[in-house]
Chains A and B, each alone.
Chain A
Amino acid sequence: MIRTFFRNRGAAAGLVILLLVAAMSALAPLLFPFSPWDMQGAPFAHPGEDGFLLGSDSLGRDVAAGIAHGAYVSLLVGAVSTVAALLVGITLGAVAGYAGGWVDDAVMRFTEFFQTVPSFVLAVVIVAIFTPSLPSIVGAIAVVSWPPVTRVVRAEVLSLRSREFVQAAEVLGRSHASILFRDILPNALSPILVLASLMVASAILLESALSFLGLGDPNLMSWGYLIGAGRSVIRLAWWMSVFPGVAIFLTVLALNLVGEGLTDALNPRIARQR
């Protein structure tokens, strides 16, 4: 399976990009051993001028440093909120799919409701009301991201539940827990993995959008914030908006490519079985 994944050049490239971004974030304190909030030189320096690799902003802060340090926020928020959303979504989806009946109905009504509400607006409202901070952002993103997980997991569990090997487990007298954890969930893993990579991507987009609107954690510099700061002076300093956006683009693209690679790698195995 791993071999199939790497045969997909896009997916391999995606993985490489992700590793580079992670490396940049980890090495940021070494590459730029100063706070990105500190003034480093003249304001509005063009890229390549005055020792600023990617230029400086309206207060003379280093854009490149901002991007390198900002990677940490994006990756952290992306990962944590996805894990939280997965935990909630998998639990609800598995319970709904396995138990069926009114439990399933109740969970699905609940999930549908959350999907009806426009997720971005809800995220904005939650962060605004609970005052912007890293926990509130992660929480808001997790809250709007779990419904698709529930749907996918429920669909998988439902389809697996009526499969003959699960029925065989019932006839053998195995317990509910044993069937759920040893038969159903391991076989539902593939779509969850694919979904996870796509969720991290959309979490990063969401976080950057929130920061752009000024709802980011005021103590942390993130890519969205950089773009937002550069918006009003775009005619003077285009590099302030362009480069952080490129960073977001590359990271999200990489995650999408990895997700696609996983979809392809995990499917043929099932097809080959027949």
Chain B
Amino acid sequence: MPLLAVEGLTVALPPGADRAHAVHDVSFTLEAGEILCIVGESGSGKSVSASAIMGLLPAALRPTAGRIGFEGADLLQATPAAMRRLRGARLGMVFQEPMTALNPLMRVGQQLAEVLHVHGARVGGRPLELLQAVHLPDPARMLRAYPHQLSGGQRQRVMIAMALALEPAILIADEPTTALDVTTQKEILRLIREVQGRRGTGVLFITHDFGVVAEIADRVAVMQSGRIVEQGTADMVLNRPQHPYTRALIAAVPARARDARPPETGEVVLELDSVGKTYRRGGLLRRAGTPAVVDATLEVRRGETLGLVGESGSGKSTLARCVVNLVQPDAGSIRFCGTDLRPLSRAAWRPYRKRIGMVFQDPFASLNPRRRVGDIIAEGPVAHGMARPAALARAGELLRLVQLDPGAANRFPHEFSGGQRQRIGIARALALEPELLVADEPVSALDVSVQAQILALLEDLRTRLGLTMLFITHDLRVAAQVCDRVAVMQRGRIVEQGPTQAVFADPQHEYTRTLLDSVPGRNWTPPA
């Protein structure tokens, strides 16, 4: 007798949406004590399914068919009052973004007590026990703390504690680790497995990351455009996928191993020596802030791709921005083909703008929404003296180079998807024919299948144009696939650097080892 039985669930989208249903004829079961992962890209309907079970669908989405069987009742037919009684007590849920998931004006202890209180349970010392159960440091002090005093990982633990306070039969986790660092993610995944094991809770875990699936799933359901395309045990789906979509998704997961390329021996294009940057807080009162980058030294040779790898707060983005002068470093030297760029004024930097280009992370924010695509790509050349018609013609060529239709030049950014916009961003960066390309997490905001396409594009462009790349990422898998050499950063310092293969196979520094250990599903090799 399964704990949860979803049969033929169909939820309609409001008229005018790009398809008729958010989810269509979705059926799956969840047994006690097992973890079922629902995998899919954005828009696949996985979150909608979870919200439907909890009765938290927004008013615009209505379930039009199906049945959700739980503890002898059909949840779709339950009254709002009945659903409210189930939520928190028999059904627990954890959401994706921990930073905004807690009421900023209530203490942690109060929020924990609340879930007990509204279901008529005794509060007593329970909140403290709950915080201890999720391994939060100094639980007694945590009870009195406000959410803004906790880190993302800590807040997520509080969320889990709240969700499991009344020992529900089912825990629904909607991408609970997507917004967390990989090391924190590892701990949260372990925590979920631990608490689930203790009470035999059924866990419905939603994710887009196959690595996470490999790490914790017992059974897997793959969703695409509102339908389940494949279901089965983890072993079956991960190692012997049947459906072409599943196969494509798994193929898109960046391969851990990369064909070893001979080390580049060309000239040193970029050389950083003891670069440092500290952000100062306060306007007039110059108080010492936290150092973002400390004593960073590295070099990039022509034709190679150097990866800057680290978690949030490691300083990799700051270092990248130092290289393109978006941020002025406080110390050290940044030599580009021999010339130190750090002391240069804004005007002196101009010629170097043509030689160093940058690709940004967020495809939705990196293009001016009010300019046409052709203008956006032509901006750079025009600013450096090229005549407009020539620049626009070049824009057309570049669009072809990034595998977009040249007619796109007349359209606006909002008419394109995330992956297409990222291609436009790449075209813009290449318009000035740079020698060095700084790519700041260029695929982190993209779905896995699109990610693979963009990485392939970058690889293709690199060989064709002979680009040198500084590639920033937090995803070790991506780094393993794309980078020749890698530099690992932690809290502003480069702790280890060297050829990617070597560093990943035999990490020297403890942090690198921790990082590699945290990669979810590291023991799983996607089938070729």
Contacts and interface: CB of A to CB of B under 8 A. Distances in A.
Given A105-B283, A163-B365, A274-B364, A169 B379 contact: yes
B375 to A, nearest CB: 9
B360 interface: yes
Nearest to B367: A165
B19 interface: no
A168 B425 contact: yes
Contacts of A118: none
Contact of B366 (A102, A164, A272, A273): A164
B324 interface: yes
Contacts of A187: 368-370
Interface in B298-337: 324-326
Given A164-B365, A165-B365, A174 B383 contact: yes
A169 B368 CA distance: 10
Contact of A173 (B284, B354, B365, B413): B354
B361 interface: yes
Interface string A166-185: 01111111110010001100
Interface residues of A, number: 23
B362 A164 contact: yes
A33 interface: no
A176 to B, nearest CB: 9
A186 interface: yes
B326 A170 contact: yes
A162 to B, nearest CB: 10
A273 B384 CA distance: 30
A172 B366 contact: no
Contacts of B365: 163-165
A165 B379 contact: no
Contacts of A178: 383
B349 interface: yes
B360 A174 contact: no
Contacts of B326: 167, 170-171
Interface in B408-443: 413-414, 425, 428-429, 432
B380 A164 contact: no
Contacts of B414: 272-273
Nearest to B360: A164
A157 to B, nearest CB: 14
Contacts of B241: none
A102 to B, nearest CB: 8
B182 interface: no
B353 interface: yes
Nearest to B354: A173
Contacts of A272: 414
Contacts of A175: 383
Interface in A78-130: 102, 105
Contacts of B425: 168
Nearest to B364: A274
B357 interface: yes
B373 interface: no
A173 B414 CA distance: 25
A173 B283 contact: no
B325 to A, nearest CB: 8
B380 A172 contact: yes
Contacts of A174: 379-380, 383
B383 A173 contact: yes
Contacts of B489: none
Contact of B358 (A102, A171, A186, A273): A171
A102 B286 CA distance: 13
B240 interface: no
Nearest to B357: A171
Contacts of B350: 173
Contacts of B429: 168, 171
Contacts of B360: 164, 167-168
Given A169-B379, A173-B354, A174-B379, A164 B361 contact: yes
B365 to A, nearest CB: 5
A161 B16 CA distance: 34
Contacts of A273: 364, 369, 413-414
Contacts of A172: 353, 379-380, 383, 428, 432
B407 to A, nearest CB: 20
A164 B365 CA distance: 6
A102 B432 CA distance: 34
A102 B354 CA distance: 31
B508 to A, nearest CB: 34
Contacts of B380: 172-174
Interface string B10-27: 000000000000000000
Nearest to A187: B370
Nearest to B380: A172
Contacts of A164: 360-362, 365-366
B222 to A, nearest CB: 25
B366 A168 contact: yes
B349 A173 contact: yes
Contacts of A186: 370
A171 B320 CA distance: 12
A55 B195 CA distance: 82
A207 to B, nearest CB: 35
A186 to B, nearest CB: 5
Nearest to B346: A176
Contacts of B349: 173
A195 B91 CA distance: 46
B384 A173 contact: yes
A202 B432 CA distance: 50
Nearest to A100: B283
A165 B366 contact: yes
Nearest to B349: A173
A5 to B, nearest CB: 18
A106 to B, nearest CB: 11
Interface string A223-248: 00000000000000000000000000
A164 B356 CA distance: 17
Interface in A187-204: 187
Nearest to A270: B369
Interface in A131-174: 163-165, 167-174
Contacts of A170: 325-326
A111 to B, nearest CB: 15
A208 to B, nearest CB: 38
Given A175-B383, A186-B370, A273-B369, A168 B358 contact: yes
5 contacts: A102-B283, A164-B360, A165-B365, A173-B353, A187-B369
Given A163-B365, A174-B379, 5 more contacts: A105-B284, A167-B326, A168-B360, A174-B383, A187-B368
Interface of A: 102, 105, 163-165, 167-175, 178, 182-183, 186-187, 270, 272-274
Q: Identify the 10 closest CB pairs spanning chains A and B, nearest first.
A: A173-B353, A273-B414, A164-B366, A172-B380, A164-B360, A171-B358, A164-B365, A165-B368, A174-B383, A171-B324
Interface of B: 283-284, 324-326, 349-350, 353-354, 356-358, 360-362, 364-371, 379-380, 383-384, 413-414, 425, 428-429, 432
